[in-house]
Structure 1
Amino acid sequence: MLRAQPSRPSFSALAVATVLVSIVAADCRAAELHVGGATTSITPDRPVAIAGQMLTRIARNVENPVTATALALESREGDKVLDQAILISCDLVTIDSAIIDQVRRLLKQRLPDLDSQKVVLNATHTHTAPVMKEGEYEIPKDGIMQPTEYADFLAKQVADAAVKAWQARKPGRVGWGLGHAVVAQNRRAVYADGHAQMYGVTNLANFRGIEGSEDQGVEVLFFWNPEGKLLATAINVACPSQEVEGLSAVNADFWHEVRETLRSRHGKDLLVLAWTGAAGDQSPHLMYRKRAEERMRTLRGLTRLKELATRIVGAWDEAYDGARKEQHADAPLVHKVATIQLPVRVVSDAEVAAAKSKIESLSKDPVNRRSVVWHQEVVDRHERQKAGPVNPYPMELHVIRLGDVAIATNDFELFTEYGIQMKARSRALQTFIIQLAGPGSYLPTERAVRGGGYSAIVESNLVGPEGGQVLSDETVNLINSLWQAN
Structure 2
Amino acid sequence: MTPGGLLALLLLACVAMAAEPAPAPRTGKLAIGWAAADITPPEPVALCGQFNTRISKRVNDPLTATALAIEARDADGVLDQAVIVSCDVVAFRRRDLEQIRALVKPRAPDLDPAKILMGATHTHTAPVLVDAREEGYHPHDIMCTFVYRVPEKGVMQPRDYVELFCARIADAVAEAWKARKPGGVSWSLAYAVVGHNRRAVYSNGRAQMYGATDRPDFDTFESTHDPGVELLFTWDEARQLTGVVVNLACPSQEVESADYVSADFWHDARVELRKRHGDGLFVLPQCSAAGDLSPHLLFRKQAEATLRRRKGNLSPRQEIGQRIARAVADGLELAKGDIRSELPFIHKTHMIPLPVRKVTKQEYDAAKKACEDFEARGVDKLDGPSYIRWRLARNIAARFEIQDEQGFYQTEVHTLRLGDIAMATNPFELYIDYGLRMKARSPAEQTFVVQIACDSLAYLPTERGVAGGHYSAEIMSNIVGPEGGRLLVERTVEALKAMWK
Normalised to the residue count of structure 1, the TM-score between the two structures is 0.92
Letter in 2 for 1:398: H
Residue aligning to 1:291: 302
Q: Are 1:334 and 2:346 an aligned pair?
A: yes
How many Å separate the matches in 1 of 2:498 and 2:296?
38
How many Å separate the matches in 1 of 2:477 and 2:360?
14
Q: Are 1:477 and 2:477 an aligned pair?
A: no
Give SS of 2:343's match.
coil
Note the alpha carbon deviations across 1:45-71, whole angstroms, 9 max, x for none.
011111011121111310000010000
Residue aligning to 1:278: 289
**Correspondence for 1:152 among 121, 141, 163:** 163
Note the alpha carbon deviations across 1:398-418, whole angstroms, 9 max, x for none.
001001000000000000000
Residue aligning to 2:426: 410
How many Å separate the matches in 1 of 2:411 and 2:149?
29
Residue aligning to 1:456: 473
**Correspondence for 1:436 among 429, 452, 468:** 452
How many Å separate the matches in 2 of 1:185 and 1:211?
11
How many Å separate the matches in 1 of 2:23 and 2:157?
45
Q: Are 1:123 and 2:117 an aligned pair?
A: no
Letter in 2 for 1:370: I
Give SS of 1:110's match.
coil
Deviation at 1:358, TM superposition (A): 3.2
Letter in 2 for 1:314: R
Residue aligning to 1:311: 323
Residue aligning to 1:324: 336
Deviation at 1:382, TM superposition (A): 1.1
Deviation at 1:360, TM superposition (A): 3.9
How many Å separate the matches in 1 of 2:56 and 2:287?
24
Letter in 2 for 1:70: A
Contact 1:417/1:445 (8 A) holds in 2: yes
Residue aligning to 1:243: 254
TM-aligned CA distance change 1:246 to 1:362, over 3 Å = farther
Contact 1:26/1:482 (8 A) holds in 2: no
Contact 1:26/1:334 (8 A) holds in 2: no
Residue aligning to 2:135: none
How many Å separate the matches in 2 of 1:447 and 1:26?
42
Note the alpha carbon deviations across 1:69-117, whole angstroms, 9 max, x for none.
0000000114711110001100010121121010010111211111000
TM-aligned CA distance change 1:79 to 1:164, over 3 Å = farther
Asked which structure has the greater RCO (Cα within 8 Å, sep 6+), the reply is 1
Give SS of 1:172's match.
strand
Residue aligning to 1:20: none
Note the alpha carbon deviations across 1:128-153, whole angstroms, 9 max, x for none.
11011111211111011111100011
Contact 2:92/2:129 (8 A) holds in 1: no
Residue aligning to 2:390: 372
Note the alpha carbon deviations across 1:284-327, whole angstroms, 9 max, x for none.
00011211111221222211100111111111112111111100
Deviation at 1:391, TM superposition (A): 3.3
How many Å separate the matches in 2 of 1:391 and 1:450?
22
Letter in 2 for 1:93: V
Deviation at 1:475, TM superposition (A): 0.4
Give SS of 2:342's match.
coil
Q: What is the correspondence of 1:166-315 to structure 2 with a 5 Å cutoff?
A: 166-300=177-311, 301-315=313-327
TM-aligned CA distance change 1:202 to 1:360, over 3 Å = farther
Residue aligning to 2:15: none
How many Å separate the matches in 1 of 2:263 and 2:370?
33
How many Å separate the matches in 1 of 2:50 and 2:198?
16
How many Å separate the matches in 2 of 1:60 and 1:192?
43
**Correspondence for 2:87 among 90, 93, 110:** 90
Structure 2's unaligned 5+ residue stretches are: 1-21, 133-146
Deviation at 1:225, TM superposition (A): 0.2
Note the alpha carbon deviations across 1:379-437, whole angstroms, 9 max, x for none.
1111223xx42230111110010010000000000000000000000000000000000
Contact 1:129/1:251 (8 A) holds in 2: yes
Normalised to the residue count of structure 2, the TM-score between the two structures is 0.89
How many Å separate the matches in 2 of 1:249 and 1:266?
28
Letter in 1 for 2:494: N
How many Å separate the matches in 2 of 1:45 and 1:108?
27
Q: Are 1:349 and 2:361 an aligned pair?
A: yes
Q: What is the correspondence of 1:20-99 to structure 2 with a 5 Å cutoff?
A: 28-78=25-75, 80-99=77-96
Contact 1:133/1:147 (8 A) holds in 2: yes
Letter in 2 for 1:393: Y
The alignment-based identity, stated in percent, is 46
Residue aligning to 1:114: 111
Structure 1's unaligned 5+ residue stretches are: 1-24
Letter in 1 for 2:213: T
Note the alpha carbon deviations across 1:206-240, whole angstroms, 9 max, x for none.
11110012111000000000101111100001000
Root-mean-square deviation (Å): 1.4
| Count of aligned residue pairs for this structure pair | 458
Give SS of 1:189's match.
strand
How many Å separate the matches in 2 of 1:48 and 1:331?
45
Deviation at 1:359, TM superposition (A): 3.3
Contact 2:62/2:262 (8 A) holds in 1: yes
Deviation at 1:373, TM superposition (A): 1.2
How many Å separate the matches in 2 of 1:177 and 1:312?
14
Give SS of 1:109's match.
coil
Letter in 2 for 1:77: D
How many Å separate the matches in 2 of 1:142 and 1:360?
31
Stretches of 4+ aligned residues off by more than 2 angstroms: 25-28, 353-364, 388-391
How many Å separate the matches in 2 of 1:271 and 1:78?
30
How many Å separate the matches in 2 of 1:346 and 1:391?
8
Deviation at 1:244, TM superposition (A): 0.3
Note the alpha carbon deviations across 1:135-193, whole angstroms, 9 max, x for none.
12111110111111000111000000001100000000100000011111100000111
Deviation at 1:33, TM superposition (A): 0.4
Contact 1:278/1:415 (8 A) holds in 2: yes
How many Å separate the matches in 2 of 1:84 and 1:479?
17
Contact 1:28/1:334 (8 A) holds in 2: no
Note the alpha carbon deviations across 1:340-395, whole angstroms, 9 max, x for none.
0100001011112222333344453242222221222111111223xx42230111
How many Å separate the matches in 2 of 1:361 and 1:325?
65
TM-aligned CA distance change 1:446 to 1:180, over 3 Å = same
Q: Are 1:426 and 2:437 an aligned pair?
A: no
How many Å separate the matches in 1 of 2:23 and 2:97?
26
